[in-house]
Structure 1
Amino acid sequence: MLTNLYFVRHAHSTYTPGELGRPLSKRGFSDALIVADLLLKEKIDFVVSSPYTRAIQTVEAVAKSLKKEIVIEENFKERELSKKPVEDFNFAITQVWKNFNLSWEGGESNVIAQKRGIEATKKILKDYEGKNVVIGTHGNIMVLIMNYFDQKYDFEFWNDLTMPDIYKFTFEGESLIEVNRIWK
Structure 2
Amino acid sequence: METRLYFVRHAHSIYTPDELKRPLSDRGSKDAVRVTEFLKNEGINQVVSSPYRRAVQTVEGIACLIGKEIEIAEDLRERTLSGEPVEDFQAAIIRVWENENYSWEGGESNLEAQQRGVSATFHLIEKYRGKNIAVGTHGNIMVLIMNYFDSRYDFQFWQNLEMPDIYQLTFIGTELVEVRKVWERSNA
TM-score (norm 1): 1.00
Structure 1: unaligned runs, 5 residues or longer: none
Q: Which residue of 2 aligns with 1:64?
A: 64
Distance in 1 between residues matched to 2:96 and 2:164, nearest whole Å: 23
Query: What's the C-alpha RMSD, in Å, of the aligned pairs?
Result: 0.4
Aligned partner of 2:175: which letter?
Answer: S
1:161 matches 2:158: no
Pair 1:181 & 2:181 matched: yes
- Post-superposition offset of 1:115: 0.1
Q: 2-side partners of 1:143 and 1:37: how far apart?
A: 24
Alignment of 1:7-156 (within 5 A): 7-156=7-156
Write the letter of the residue equivalent to 2:28.
G
SS at match of 1:79: coil
Identity fraction in percent: 61
- State the TM-score, normalizing by the size of structure 2: 0.97
Q: Structure 1: how far apart are the matches of 2:139 and 2:62?
A: 19
> C-alpha separation between the residues in 2 aligned to 1:180 and 1:37?
18
- Once residues 128 and 66 of structure 2 are traced to their aligned partners in structure 1, the CA distance between those partners, rounded to angstroms, is 17
CA distance in 2 between counterparts of 1:93 and 1:137 reads 18
Deviation at 1:17, TM superposition (A): 0.7
The secondary structure found in structure 2 opposite 1:92 is helix
Aligned length: 184
Deviations 1:26-56 (A, max 9, x none): 0000000111111111000000000000000
CA distance in 1, matches of 2:167, 2:51: 20
Q: Secondary structure at the match of 1:18?
A: coil
Counterpart amino acid of residue 110 in structure 1: N
TM-aligned CA deviation for residue 18 of structure 1: 0.4
